[in-house]
Amino acid sequence: MRRYYIGAMLIAFAICVQAQNAPVRTNRAADRNTQQASGANTNRSTELSVRAQMMNEQLTQEIGNARWVRNILRELDLTKEKNAPLYYPVQEMNGMKNLFTTLFHLFSEEKIKAYNYRADYESFEEDNLLSFQDMLKQFKILYDAVPGSGNLPVRYIINASDIPSREVNKLYVKEAWFFDQKNSTYDVKTLAICPIAEMTLESGEELRQGMFWVKYEDIRPFIKNNYIMTSNINNAKTYTMDDFFRRRMYDGEIIQTDNLMNLPLAMLFDKNEIAEEQQRIENQLRTFNEALWIQPDTTTVVLNKREARKTTTVTRGSTVKAPPKEKAPKQAKTPPAEKAASTKSAPTRSIRR
């Protein structure tokens, strides 16, 4: 009787274990709908992954401890060849998008924050935030608003041809030139960028205005993998948009530096003096960097140049001293001419005498 009781207990225990390990069956259609809804929320999420946040923190240049900082505002003409990688293609083609189209999509998906453009100064406070709908209305961009269901926000549908990518042919770039004494580094940090729209409205009015400011730290995680073509000769996409800004591969004119009066160069100088002042500022930035480091002794440089002149290159990477020049042999001095014998010849003496 005991054997039967023990066997029954073992069978019951095995059945309980199998029931616990058995997978729970659910409605696959319901699971698929749940995944799609969660995927939609994830795509519209403004949060970055932990890895992207860590990478962005590593690339961030800290200027809080810098002992010397000078803020520069530049205006880039995107139609110039050096800045063209940020402008072309003006419409999305083969998966390639220019800078403004990328910012436009990020702004519409609420992945980045944009701030109102002000002509007097740049404000990145929360009370100066700009909504995507207000930007569309301000620049007369056609759109269709689709209300979201549940917790999903309103979606804005804009045709690719209605995105004013072609009209945004200029760009403001805010830079910070700084020297960090703690790390002994002299570098340039891109603080923010602002696309400038030049368009003609239906009323015939010509509009030239900055559209919005975005912090560069906010857009870097999204453009650091956006590869661009930087040359018409080499079509390989070897640089990203982040490399383009970090390496300062662009070319722009200085229009303002932070000053106590908070005025641009156009209000401080005449038109014929602006170019000279821009060059003077560029020279100041360059000479400040040169003054930080000990320059080599000029006498040593002169001696090295003299030694280099005495060497000649013979083969790949090998140098030998040039053979000394052979001195020309001294010409033998010609003996002085003998005096001509006088007309009166001296008397001849005999050898015996």
Cα(226)–Cα(87) distance, rounded to whole angstroms? 13
- Taking phi over 0 as left and psi of -120 to 50 as alpha, with beta for the rest, 170 belongs to beta
Residue 221 is predicted with a pLDDT of 94
Query: Does 353 have pLDDT greater than 60?
Result: no
Of 102, 112, 114, which is closest to residue 245 (Cα–Cα)? 102
Going by pLDDT thresholds of 50, 70 and 90, the confidence category of residue 132 is very high
Residue 177 banded pLDDT, cuts 50, 70, 90: very high
- Cα(324)–Cα(192) distance, integer angstroms: 63
Position 32 scores a pLDDT of: 40
Give mean pLDDT, residues 189-200: 93
**Given pLDDT bands bounded at 50, 70 and 90, which one contains residue 31?**
very low
Using CA atoms, how far apart are residues 282 and 285, in angstroms rounded to an integer?
A: 5
**Percentage of the chain with pLDDT > 70?**
67
**Has residue 276 been placed in a domain?**
yes
Q: Where do we find the tokens 């005498």?
A: 353
| Average pLDDT over every residue of 163-173 | 95
- Judged against a pLDDT cut of 50, whether residue 249 lies above it is answered with yes
Q: What is the pLDDT of residue 178?
A: 93
Output the CA angle 215-103-231, nearest 5 degrees: 100
* Mean pLDDT within 35-51: 48
Strand 252-257 to 68-77 pairing: antiparallel
**How many residues in the chain?**
353
Q: What is the mean pLDDT of the chain?
A: 79
Phi, psi of 82 (to 5 degrees): -70, -30
Is the pLDDT at 46 greater than 50, yes or no?
Answer: no
pLDDT digits (tens, 9 = 90+) for 311-349: 654 444 555 555 555 666 666 565 555 554 444 455 555
pLDDT-wise least confident of 7-16, 77-86, 263-272: 7-16
Structure-model confidence comparison of residues 350 and 123, the more confident one: 123
CA–CA dist 198, 100 (Å, integer): 13
| pLDDT tier at 55, thresholds 50, 70, 90 | low
Q: Name the residue type at position 326.
A: E
Residue 230 lies in a domain: yes
**φ, ψ at 320 (rounded to 5°):** -130, 155
Where would I find the H helices in 227-315? 241-246, 265-268, 271-291, 298-309
Q: How far apart are CA 82 and CA 248, in angstroms?
A: 11
In a domain, 16, yes or no: no
The reply to whether 13 falls in a domain is no
Q: How far, in Å, CA of 140 to CA of 125, rounded?
A: 26
User: Which position has the higher pLDDT, 261 or 2?
Assistant: 261
Residue 171 counted as domain residue: yes
Report CA dihedral (327, 329, 330, 333) to the nearest 10 degrees: -170
Q: With contact defined as beta carbons under 8 Å apart, do 36 and 29 qualify?
A: no
- Calpha distance 158→168 (Å, rounded): 17
Can you name the residues that pair with 51 across neighbouring β-strands? none
Question: Taking 50 as the threshold, does the pLDDT of residue 192 lie above it?
Answer: yes
Own/partner long-range contacts of 335-342 (Cβ < 8 Å, ≥24 apart): none
Identify each DSSP E strand in the chain by its residue range: 68-77, 144-146, 155-157, 170-180, 185-200, 206-210, 214-215, 227-228, 239-240, 252-257, 311-315, 318-321
In a domain, 320, yes or no: no
Compute the distance between CA of residue 297 and CA of residue 316 in angstroms, rounded to an integer. Answer: 30
Sequence-separated (6 or more) residues with CB below 8 Å from residue 217: 56, 60
- Model confidence at 16, pLDDT cuts 50, 70, 90, reads low
Residue with tokens 């641009």: 264
* Residue 128 burial by Cβ neighbours in a 10 Å radius (0-12, 13-18, 19+): middle
Strands 239-240 and 144-146: unpaired
Question: What pLDDT score was predicted for residue 346?
Answer: 52
Q: How many domains does the chain have?
A: 1
Higher pLDDT, 62 or 272: 272
Give a yes or no: residue 314 inside a domain.
Answer: no
- The answer to whether residue 301 is domain-embedded is no
DSSP 98: -
Enclosing domain of residue 286 = 67-258+266-291
Confidence band of 201 (pLDDT split at 50, 70, 90):
confident
Residue that wins the pLDDT comparison between 60 and 227: 227
Is the pLDDT score of 296 beyond 80? no
In the prediction, which pLDDT does 64 show? 78
